[in-house]
Structure 1
Amino acid sequence: MQNMNLQLETQTEVKDKATKSSLWLETLRRIVARKSAMVGAFIVFALIFVAMFAPYLAPYHPTEDGKLVDRLKPPSAEHWLGTDSLGRDILSRIIFGARISIQVGIISVGIAMSIGTLVGAVAGYYGGWIDLVVMRLIDIMMAFPSILLAIAITAVLGPSLQNAMVAIGIVYIPTYARIVRSSVLSVKATEYVEAAKAIGANDFRIIFKHVLPNCIAPIIVQTTMGIGTAILEAAGLSFLGLGARPPQPEWGFMLANARQFIRNAPWATVFPGLAIMLTVLGFNLLGDGLRDALDPRLKE
């Protein structure tokens, strides 16, 4: 009898693995079928590649001041994207800035996702007064414009790139909390969750093994799009002097330094701005593709 039970459990596990594998393959097929998602994926992977191999791709050092005679030189064979006010190669600074942008996106979104997912899961699963208190606090945070709240938090913590990442992470906690809460409210009423409760599974096991794994799709989509938003917010804070500090090659900080030369040396602002635009566009396109692929209501 025990052998039969073991065989049935093994067969069930194999079927579950096969089902999950086919679902992931179907999701991948749907992503590949969308040209916009593939364009976004290409931009994102190109950014990651540039960030990983920045020391080998950059023709010059990103932070060392150049010669005075090289100040604000236009794009040329020697400096493909021109130089800034200190004679530094703009292409090299943009390449190394990709590292900072990815770091900002991952850390900021990691803070927001981890805390927001936990808060949303607890509020949605337990409901009652816990849900009421948590969601009212979330509503208060969402009542403030994100950039103003990020500025306020960064001003309190002190201007630095690290504090900017923390501020952006805190600002976007409500977004993840609301997404996870709405997903948990629908998942916790399903039969397999009721069955887990019936066999005596504790709340921790139910939340982290049965509920959250079935809320992963909207979290993945929001995370992908959130990285682009976090990079844009960090660039805004750096532009205002609350983020990156000299001589860091951060794109928003590069824009701030070059804005006074926008008439005489427009390339010093155009190329960092294009880098920000393409990065945010890439993550948004990839996020849209993932949303379409992971949403069962949009299946063809």
Structure 2
Amino acid sequence: MSTKRGQIQIDGFHSEHVEDRDALAEWTDEKQEEVSSRWRKIVRQLLHDRIALIGGAFVLFMLFWALFSRPLTLYGVTVQPFEVVPYDPMQTRIADPWMSPSLDHPFGTDSLGRDLFSRVMFGTRFSVTIGIIVTAIATVFGVIYGAISGYFGGRVDDVLMRIVDMVFAFPGLVLVLVIVAMLGRGYWQLVVGFTAVGWAGYARLIRGEVLKVKQNEYVMAAKALGARDRKVLFRHIVPNSIAPVIVQATLSIGGVVIGVAALGFLGAGLILPFHVSDVAVERVLRLLRTAPAFFPCRRTPSYRPSNAC
């Protein structure tokens, strides 16, 4: 191999004999086996971590109750015909208002006798799905945006990062509140608001990783073999830079759910009949002194706002 100024020449390589040099930059079977063994190692370590298994099982259990709480219909087609909550969240029982927590009603009932556990699980579906959708969209857009910025550098990097700085110049929750105020309250309005704020963090994170990974020898070798920028970026650089982004994405879902609850507490969240934790807290704050209930406690059918559990 000989070098010239600004060029790398490999002895024995003749570009005129190669019709499509991008194929030379493809992953080999050995690399695919290496990636598979890496994932098997991760799964094996996870199975030996009892704390992680217990936490994961609890999270999956709560997600199951939330996502499958009620039948789900999309565009007139029922995609989920069953329900797992014990009561209809909208069904009123005038004879059973303000019941304390019990086996029949784990969270008690409200002023209209509606089961609070069923209502919270039903409302959690919307908060969780907002968190998942926002995280997915923000991650994909932010990774592409930040990877392009870090790979090309120069003026492209300067312009793209200044846009990211503009997003970070405003408090995230305040910016979401402004967007929701402009678009109106609703499910997809919240998705747009949190996505418009959340992508910038992923862009900055992946950019820093790309700046380090693109200096590796295998990236320079792929360029020398004639691989296009798109192949080099998304075949060699991004897969080796994505680990911190995955960690950030898993943490961001909970952050979005908390953000949705905060907006709902401020009166800018989901519109009724959605019932989420922020709405429940907002409505019962005035009853904290006159009608407290402790969980768990013994069933008291005669419980009323004037009595404490």
TM-score, normalised on structure 1? 0.78
Alignment of 1:215-294 (within 5 A): 215-267=241-293
Look up the match of 2:156. 130
Cα gap change, 1:267 to 1:104, in 2 (>3 Å): farther
**8 Å CA contact 1:109, 1:226 repeated in 2:** yes
Look up the match of 1:62. 89
Give every structure 1 segment of 4 or more consecutive aligned residues whose post-TM-superposition deviation is greater than 6 Å: none
**8 Å CA contact 1:163, 1:243 repeated in 2:** no
Structure 1 residue runs without a partner (length 5+): 1-8, 272-300
Cα gap change, 1:230 to 1:266, in 2 (>3 Å): farther
Distance 1:266 1:30 in 2: 45
**8 Å CA contact 2:98, 2:110 repeated in 1:** yes
**One of 215, 219, 239 as aligned partner of 1:189:** 215
Q: What letter matches 1:138 in structure 2?
A: V
Distance 1:44 1:37 in 2: 10
Structure 2 residue runs without a partner (length 5+): 1-23, 71-82, 297-309
Distance 2:168 2:54 in 1: 32
Look up the match of 2:135. 109
* Structure with greater strand percent: 2
Three-state SS of the structure 1 residue aligned to 2:90 is coil
- 1:49 is the counterpart of 2:64: yes
Q: What letter matches 1:91 in structure 2?
A: F
Distance 1:28 1:236 in 2: 35
Aligned residues: 259
RMSD across aligned C-alpha pairs, in angstroms?
2.3
Look up the match of 2:8. none
Three-state SS of the structure 2 residue aligned to 1:73 is coil
**8 Å CA contact 1:176, 1:219 repeated in 2:** yes
Deviation at 1:114, TM superposition (A): 1.7
Alignment of 1:65-84 (within 5 A): 66-84=92-110
Distance 1:52 1:125 in 2: 39
**8 Å CA contact 1:31, 1:38 repeated in 2:** yes
Cα gap change, 1:109 to 1:266, in 2 (>3 Å): farther
Three-state SS of the structure 1 residue aligned to 2:242 is helix
Cα gap change, 1:183 to 1:267, in 2 (>3 Å): farther
Cα gap change, 1:36 to 1:167, in 2 (>3 Å): farther
Q: What letter matches 1:98 in structure 2?
A: T
Three-state SS of the structure 2 residue aligned to 1:68 is coil
Three-state SS of the structure 2 residue aligned to 1:172 is helix
Identical pairs, percent: 38
Cα gap change, 1:36 to 1:178, in 2 (>3 Å): farther
Q: What letter matches 2:147 in structure 1?
A: A
Cα gap change, 1:144 to 1:265, in 2 (>3 Å): farther
Q: What letter matches 1:24 in structure 2?
A: W
Three-state SS of the structure 2 residue aligned to 1:54 is coil
Look up the match of 2:230. 204
Q: Which has the larger radius of gyration?
A: 2
**8 Å CA contact 1:81, 1:267 repeated in 2:** no
* Structure with greater helix percent: 1
**One of 38, 43, 59 as aligned partner of 1:23:** 38
TM-score, normalised on structure 2? 0.76
